[in-house]
């Protein structure tokens, strides 16, 4: 019965709205994804807001209804069971918080988002319509502006916190704290305290790198643009914006951590707002890319053995064995069966062994030629990748360093190990390279405080307050760029 009454009232209000708009064509506003149905001027603003929200809820089944709200259920939660205007004062003016919110939405590009996604032109038109002297339709205009601005601000908050493309996906920080983001509650409290802009901007990730990139982008947008560089300017803007989107998906909060940015070919040791150490790295080739992940370095191994991955053993070592069984001994490899028993490679007819029938494991002992070098840092991950030393250190001088099978090689790894020990207040007594090479067996060094490790993919970052762009080595930007910018609504 209640549902039928709601349908009847809504239908009546919509019918009256059509008559009102025919009589007062100046009240009609341009169609837009966030445009809302207008209701009769005789009703109060609160009644009109409620009717709009009911109409929005029925929009999938009501013939001719306008598109639903962008922030849907969050708008309903914001207004609650007894809706009241939130952004208007009197009948023909808006609050200072509404003015501040409109200004912030117009500056969305500074945060890697597009003003047109928040109907800024439509909102400006609605705001201007409140200044009309005629009383007819004034309540309808006020209600329409109120709901539209609430919808835009709530969607902006969600986009800042979770990302434009993952509105309904809890952020990593939500998962870590087990606290679901509640933008409606936040906005309601901010309006009461008259701190809307501060509350909205607080929705952004607190991660040091995100904050620096956002500020650098805002500063970059304020710089003059040469007339002949508009295309490059837009391309660079989109590259910075899509990386802010990535940060919203992969944000984290930790006072100390190791961050690896794959396109930058660099590892950073971060504490608070400071980068304490930087190391050049070698990453996986495009054919064998290094994964992105979050984990923690729990220990490192000195003079490590290298258990050769099966893919490398069958694709690279097997052809060499088929040509010369002495290849293993010359490179400090040992051959074992699947039960770990040592085998003599000269006793095997390698020409009859195929990748599918390869029933062996290969291990390389510590030494100058060990692929892991003198040290490997261990962290839990499902990809069996390591952070390790390398005997081929001249490769760190190359500008493009996507050269590995997926593991990450780090320059000056002993200095990184020393830092991890110093961080715990432990004495640093690491062996020299010569001592590692002569060490008879691997030595594990456990950390009392595992070091958070984040491996990420960002093709734009901030250096000294300036934007710095990196080559899209794994070609991951194009799809994200298309999703963020190709379908932006045009007004």
Tokens of 485: 């910018």
State in Å, rounded, how far the first CA of the chain is from the last one: 41
Please say if 460 is a catalytic residue. Answer: no
Torsion region of 358: left, alpha or beta (phi above 0 gives left; psi -120 to 50 gives alpha): beta
In SS3 terms, 440-481 reads as CCCEEEEEEEEEEEEEECCCEEEECCEEEECCCCCCCHHHHH
53, 154 in Cβ contact below 8 A? no
40, 27 in Cβ contact below 8 A? no
> Which of these is catalytic: 388, 436, 454, 460?
388
Closest CA to 465 of 273, 270, 111, 216: 216
Calculated CA dihedral for residues 102, 108, 114, 115, nearest 10 degrees: 10
Please say if 388 is a catalytic residue. Answer: yes
Count CB atoms within 10 A of the CB of residue 230.
10
> Which of these is catalytic: 407, 436, 454, 460?
407
DSSP annotation of 26: G
188-226 burial code (b ≥16 CB/10 A, e <16): bebbeeeebeebbeebbbebbbbebbbebbeebeeeeee
Catalytic positions are 388, 407
């Amino acid at each position: 019965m209640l549902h039928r009454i709601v349908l009847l009232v809504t239908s009546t209000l919509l019918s009256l709205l059509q008559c009102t708009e025919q009589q007062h064509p100046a009240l009609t506003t341009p169609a837009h994804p966030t445009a809302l149905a207008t209701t009769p001027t005789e009703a109060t603003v609160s009644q009109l807001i409620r009717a709009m929200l009911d109409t929005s809820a029925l929009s999938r089944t009501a013939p001719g209804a306008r598109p639903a709200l962008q922030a849907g259920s969050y708008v309903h939660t914001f207004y609650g069971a007894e809706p009241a205007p939130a952004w208007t004062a009197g009948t023909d003016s808006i609050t200072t918080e509404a003015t501040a919110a409109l200004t912030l939405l117009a500056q969305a590009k500074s945060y890697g988002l597009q003003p047109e996604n928040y109907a800024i032109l439509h909102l400006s038109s609605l705001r201007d319509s409140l200044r009309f002297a005629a009383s007819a339709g004034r309540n309808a205009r006020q209600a329409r502006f109120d709901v539209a601005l609430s919808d835009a601000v709530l969607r902006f908050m969600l986009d800042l916190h979770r990302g434009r493309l993952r509105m309904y996906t809890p952020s990593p920080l939500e998962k870590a704290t087990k606290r679901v983001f509640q933008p409606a509650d936040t906005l309601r409290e901010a309006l009461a305290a008259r701190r809307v802009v501060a509350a909205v901007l607080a929705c952004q990730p607190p991660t040091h790198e995100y904050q620096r990139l956002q500020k650098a982008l805002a500063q970059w947008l304020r710089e003059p643009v040469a007339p002949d560089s508009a295309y490059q300017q837009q391309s660079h803007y989109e590259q910075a914006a899509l990386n802010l989107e990535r940060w919203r998906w992969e944000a984290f909060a930790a006072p100390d951590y190791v961050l690896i940015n794959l396109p930058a070919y660099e590892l950073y040791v971060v504490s608070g707002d400071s980068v304490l150490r930087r190391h050049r790295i070698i990453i996986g080739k495009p054919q064998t890319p290094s994964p992105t992940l979050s984990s923690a370095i729990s220990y490192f191994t000195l003079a490590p053995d290298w258990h050769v991955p099966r893919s490398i053993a069958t694709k690279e070592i097997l052809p060499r064995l088929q040509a010369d069984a002495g290849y293993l001994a010359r490179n400090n490899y040992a051959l074992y069966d699947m039960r770990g028993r040592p085998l003599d490679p000269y006793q095997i007819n390698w020409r009859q062994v195929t990748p599918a029938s390869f029933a062996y494991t290969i291990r390389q002992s510590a030494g100058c030629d060990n692929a892991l070098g003198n040290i490997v840092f261990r962290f839990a991950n499902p990809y069996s990748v390591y952070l390790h030393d390398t005997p081929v250190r001249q490769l760190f001088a190359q500008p493009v360093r996507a050269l590995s099978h997926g593991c990450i090689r780090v320059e000056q790894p002993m200095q990184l190990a020393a830092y991890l020990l110093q961080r715990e207040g432990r004495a640093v007594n690491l062996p020299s390279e010569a001592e590692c090479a002569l060490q008879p067996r691997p030595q594990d060094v456990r950390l009392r405080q595992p070091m958070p490790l984040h491996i990420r993919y960002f093709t734009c970052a901030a250096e000294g307050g300036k934007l710095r762009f990196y080559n899209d080595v794994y070609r991951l930007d194009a799809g994200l760029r298309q999703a963020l910018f190709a379908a932006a609504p045009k007004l």
